[in-house]
Amino acid sequence: MLFTVIMKRKSINTISSFLFFILILSCSGIENDEFSERVKISFREVGNQLLLSHQDSTSLILPVVALKQSKYRLSFQEELSFEPSNLVSFIETNFKKANLPKHYLVEVIQCVDDEVAYSYEMSIDEESTIIPCMSRNLPLDCYYIEVRFTRRVASLMNKKTLLYGSVLAAFLLLLFLIYRRKQALKNEKQNSDYIKVGSFQFYQNQNKLIKEAVEIALSKKECELLAIFVANPNQIITRDELTKRVWEDNGVVVGRSLDTFISKLRKKLSADSSIIIENVHGVGYKLVLVN
């Protein structure tokens, strides 16, 4: 009973763990939505500052678009011209305020032919930061600006791999515990299927006796003899009947095999003095259980 309760608790804990991982997956989606909103707000402010630096306070900034995971596009209603140094500065300042990742690639792309007019890469590591030609103004033209967070993609992939792996592991563990519980219940049922013989527990299907947690193995013949005696306590069972039921049914009759096996059985039952296998001279044997 205790084992069953423990297994139930383990199963509940496993299910709870599985639901917890699903919750993490949901929270991961919420986190991505929140990240995307922060990028769009700060990137839009970059566009606003670029227009103001171009003395333009009236033309529209088009909605920031999430192109794919960790990549975003900023575009404008009108043509504009700006210094790359301003773009670098505006992005760095606004991304820092929004607490966005510091590893990203920026590309200024011409609307007419999708050619990259200017690009640079930002990193915490100064050697990996590449910012060319900051002093050359970009001519008046239609541009859209794209930013891709380089380290975040790898980080998200690693998190998702870990998450999915954990969910799979939890699911497999749940299946394993269910299997173990079924096996435990099966064994529990088998172990409860015994006959009380004095202070012994007689497991006929498993050919064994148990007394105070001590297991005593029985041979097949010993088990068959004891089963006959237990089914007929305090009754004389003739030698012919015992021989016929244990040996003749299997097509084998051996002279003194019965006496030999009765002797072995007495020895294994000797730990309980209330169990006696009496020899009824010239007739047979009788199992006597003394109260």
Query: Average pLDDT, stretch 219-246?
Result: 90
Query: What's the rounded Cα separation, in Å, for the pair 18 and 20?
Result: 5
Strands 143-149 and 71-75: antiparallel
Query: Average pLDDT, stretch 223-245?
Result: 91
Q: For residue 61, give the 3-state DSSP assignment.
A: strand
Amino acid 165: pLDDT = 75
Could you tell me the pLDDT band of residue 92, with boundaries at 50, 70 and 90?
very high
Amino acid 282: pLDDT = 86
CATH fold group of domain 218-289: Arc Repressor Mutant, subunit A (1.10.10)
Could you tell me the pLDDT band of residue 66, with boundaries at 50, 70 and 90?
very high
Q: Which residue has the higher pLDDT, 42 or 290?
A: 42
Could you tell me the pLDDT band of residue 204, with boundaries at 50, 70 and 90?
confident
Task: Characterize 23-37 residue by residue with b for buried, 16 or more Cβ atoms within 10 angstroms of its Cβ, and e for exposed.
Answer: ebeeeeeeeeeebee
The pair of structure tokens assigned to 6 is 């423990």
Distance of CA 219 to the CA centre of its chain: 44
Mean of all residue pLDDT scores within the chain: 81
Least confident of 4-13, 200-209, 241-250: 4-13
Handedness of CA 23, 29, 34, 35 (dihedral sign): positive
Least confident of 27-31, 142-146, 196-200, 260-264: 27-31
Q: Which of 3-17, 136-150, 179-193 has the highest mean pLDDT?
A: 136-150
Query: Average pLDDT, stretch 96-120?
Result: 93
Query: Average pLDDT, stretch 52-72?
Result: 90
Asked whether residue 2 carries a pLDDT value surpassing 60, the answer given is no
Q: How far is CA 203 from CA 17, 171, 208, in A?
A: 40, 37, 5
Q: Where are the domains of the chain?
A: 2-155, 218-289
Cα atoms in the Cβ-side hemisphere of radius 13 Å centred on 284: 16
